[in-house]
Amino acid sequence: MTSTLEILRSTRPIEAAASRLALAIARVDAQRGACRLAIPGGSALAVLPHVLKDLPQGTWSRVHLTWVDERCVAASDPDSNRGAWQRLGLPPPAAALPLWADGDVGPEAAVERFGREFARGFAGGLDAALLGLGEDGHVASLFPGHAALGVAGAAVFVADSPKPPPRRMSLTLPVLRATPLAVMMAAGAGKRAALRRVIRREAGLPTTALPHLVIATDIDLEDESDE
């Protein structure tokens, strides 16, 4: 499979990422009347309110939403990605499928539930994903060199995340690899080394497997002054 990498260099990377993602959502919605989108937590979540501003009226109400990863905590917990989304106070999408729901009795049950509902409500795939970038090169909760990278199916439980909290759920690499477009935020000098690795399409990084990766960044890779 041919893969493409597009870099949006901007002093306002949040807005740049939002514009590109909104364009993709609107295009899919115009073609099919709905769009299947996965979002992260963390700093990259700041893109989402700008996406809604850029979308044609009514488009968001047809989006089927899920998460690229989640921590195995209640939505009320400060570590919850779903909780962070809820606290934004955005209008509801057509549907929202959590990786970890408050009623899940354990990781195995959550993986099974998510796989079943993802197959039914999302036809087993996504149209677009918004990603953040970790300083070690991870996206979602797929860490370089971790066994979770080799898991099939829709979701994987990560019991020992190198970054706390350790218990997490993540979309699998096959799901992200089958997603036509991923828009990734990589802002701040702390992401410089990881961004270089991503751009080199380094073997072992989950981003290297993505078919079309758009990176919105304010990092000038030509400037070495802060290293």
The model carries a pTM of 0.95
- Quickly name the fold that domain 4-217 has: Rossmann fold (3.40.50)
Query: Taking a C-beta distance cutoff of 8 angstroms, is the pair 201, 208 a contact?
Result: yes
Q: What is the pLDDT of residue 1?
A: 52
Write out the chain's pLDDT in tens, 227 residues: 568 999 999 999 999 999 999 999 999 999 999 999 999 999 999 999 999 999 999 999 999 999 999 999 999 999 999 999 999 999 999 999 999 999 999 999 999 999 999 999 999 999 999 999 999 999 999 999 999 999 999 999 999 999 999 999 999 999 999 999 999 999 999 999 999 999 999 999 999 999 999 999 999 987 644 44
Domain locations in the chain as residue ranges: 4-217
